[in-house]
Homo-oligomer: A and B are copies of this chain.
C-alpha cells in the first residue's frame, strides 16, 4: 500500500521487471529476502509494489533517506547474489532508476 514518507528531498529506486519462467522455490526465497532485508538497512524508508501482469511485468518503488543508503544496499552481500541471479536467470528485461524526490503531494496517507 502507500507508505508515509518524510518531506522531500529523499530518494526513490524505481524497479521495473519482467520475470522469466523460473524455479519458483529459489525465486520466492530470494525475492522474500529482497523484500524484508532492506528494512534492516540504515536509511530505508519503505517499499511500494503492485502485482505482476499476466505477462510477468511488475513495478515496485523503494524509498531511501539519501543516495548513500542506496549505494550501501547495492553492495550488501545477499543483494549482490540476488542482482547476479536477477541479471542472469530471472529477468530477461529490467530497468532500475535512482531518482531524487523533489516534491510530493498526498492525501489520506
Contacts and interface: CB of A to CB of B under 8 A. Distances in A.
A51 B45 CA distance: 23
Given A2-B16, A100-B102, A59 B61 contact: yes
B97 A104 contact: yes
Contacts of A16: 2, 48, 61
A50 B52 contact: yes
What is the count of identical protomers in the complex? 2
Contacts of A106: 93-96
Contacts of A94: 2, 106-109
Interface bracket on A: 35 or more
Given A2-B16, A12-B14, A91-B108, 13 more contacts: A1-B57, A14-B101, A48-B59, A49-B59, A50-B51, A50-B53, A51-B51, A51-B53, A93-B107, A95-B104, A97-B101, A98-B103, A98-B104
The 10 closest A-B pairs by CB, nearest first: A93-B108, A99-B99, A95-B106, A50-B50, A50-B59, A99-B101, A97-B104, A2-B16, A96-B105, A97-B101
